[in-house]
Amino acid sequence: MKSIKLSIITFLTLSFALVSCSDLEEKINDGVVVDEDNSTADVDALLTDAYRSLQSFHTQDQVWALDEHTSDEVMGPTRGTDWDDNGIWRVLHDHTWDPEHNFIRASWNALGRGLYLSNNILQFDVTTEQEVQARFLRAFYVYKICDLFGQVPMREPGEDVATTDPTVMGSSEAITYAITELEAIMPNLPDNVPAYQASKNAARGLLAKMYLNRDVYEDDDRIDPQFKAANMDKVIQYCDAIIGSGNYMLDSDYYDNFRPNNDQVSEENIWTNENIGGVNAGNVRSRWFMTLHYNQEIGGWNGFCTIADFYDKFDDPNDVRLTSEPADFTPMTGIKAGFLEGQQFNSTGDALEDRKGNPLAFTREVNYFETGDNLEVTGVRAIKYIPDMVSGDASDNDYVMIRYADVLLMKAEAIARGGAPTMGASAASLVNDIRTARGTSADADGSLTSIYDERGFELWWEGHRRQDMIRFGTFTNDTWTNKTSTESFRVLFPIPAVELSANPMIQQNNGY
């Protein structure tokens, strides 16, 4: 990428009030050339930057951490001297974070960067195609900031960032804005483009998710939303448009959605973030490194696991989402896909040991602080993205944002919450279509409880669990390993403390 010539300084500080005054001299070195008079730009390059901002969702210590470590799906225990990091993972899982939490601030910064980059494009002379892509990304970032923080600082494209503060949208205004934007650009979005580009079906998938959560965002405290049939009907409308397009089907191999060549083999992926192996890739590698042990054949950081409370919900050993032995992965590594419990082996069938010479046998039991001989093996590990054995650290797996199974589950939930059934489908039949495809019994009853569980079985570690738990009322009320019922205000994260002094238009969220 070319070096930027803008006279403004960091977009994070000036557009979103994201960093402290001590950072004001930092310059952008990975942007695009803009004329000194700020009148023209290489818009395609700006769009490339905006799409690349989605790579912040790949890494283990930003948005994904907020969406998953705060749930019953992921835990980051301290293993002796490893992974303590002053309790930064632990306070997410037990819901005791504060406004100084580094991952909360990093997520705010990353989302603000994406919002700035997409919004900034619209000040220039853009084609219709460029405009709708920028507005699609802008709407997505507004929605995601709303989901996590409940407040969205916003500017007009090209607004003088040095002399004006951004206005701030509350949750209700923000979700209405994002929905209105996507519905306005829908006619001009393309139909048949790669999954990593904005399209009609990507917008429909986002709109379904926005309408599904709209009543949560418009509820004063997000604790007891009353789901309106009209919003549920909109969910069904957009899901039906995706289903009716005929472009997607449930993959016969669940892990095709997450392979290094998932852009070629997946029949489900509706919207992804492109990674080009060895050339331009985010941190998808973290998905397997953050959980595998150092001594497993592709290595790892021996960190994150799931907990028995979640793992034990799986009730069928034939469910490929629980465990699988992909022919293109397990024979060459000894590692299964899905959840890893018990003794681990290498590719020649030899039993592995941990660094102390103890059997490398992952256990269901796990605590925040692990000591003694078992500290390296506690907790069930998880592999969803099939590791790229060719590209190494710069992995080729495209990162999945929206896929077809989620669309079916959103439609099922909308029906269960009072939306009108369509296309001869019931909530139960939609869930059972997925269960059949995953090799397990088609015995779901279509209740909200069964849909909630199925979302966990199907979408584990994909960044949806926190949002799902809030919508189903389990985020603060339910307990799980090392977490008890917590304060209701934690359905929102705090605004990072430094931002409150930088932007007088924003107020701290209740409870912090």
Please state, in angstroms and rounded to a whole number, the distance separating the CA atoms of residues 9 and 25.
7
**Assigned token pair, 351:** 């039993």
Spatial neighbors of 247 by CB under 8 A, at least 6 apart, are 201
DSSP structure class, residue 272:
E
Spatial neighbors of 424 by CB under 8 A, at least 6 apart, are none
pLDDT at 16: 45
Please state, in angstroms and rounded to a whole number, the distance separating the CA atoms of residues 457 and 372.
32
The overall average pLDDT reported for the chain is 91
Question: pTM to 2 decimals?
Answer: 0.92
Domains and CATH numbers, the chain: 1-174+485-512 (1.25.40.390)
In this structure, of 10-24, 165-179, 400-414, the range with the lowest mean pLDDT score is 10-24
pLDDT greater than 90 at residue 501:
no
Q: Given pLDDT bands bounded at 50, 70 and 90, which one contains residue 10?
A: very low
At 427-486, the pLDDT tens digits run 999 999 999 999 999 999 999 999 999 999 999 999 999 999 999 999 999 889 888 888
Q: Tell me if 438 sits within 8 A of 254, measured CB to CB.
A: yes
Q: Given pLDDT bands bounded at 50, 70 and 90, which one contains residue 40?
A: low
Quickly list DSSP for 115-128.
HHHHHHGGGS---H
**Assigned token pair, 110:** 């990353």
pLDDT greater than 60 at residue 17:
no
CA R_g for the chain: 22
pLDDT at 303: 93
Quickly list DSSP for 8-71.
S--HHHHHH--S-GGGTT---SSS--B-TTS--B-HHHHHHHHHHGGGGGTSTTSHHHHHHTTS
pLDDT at 98: 95
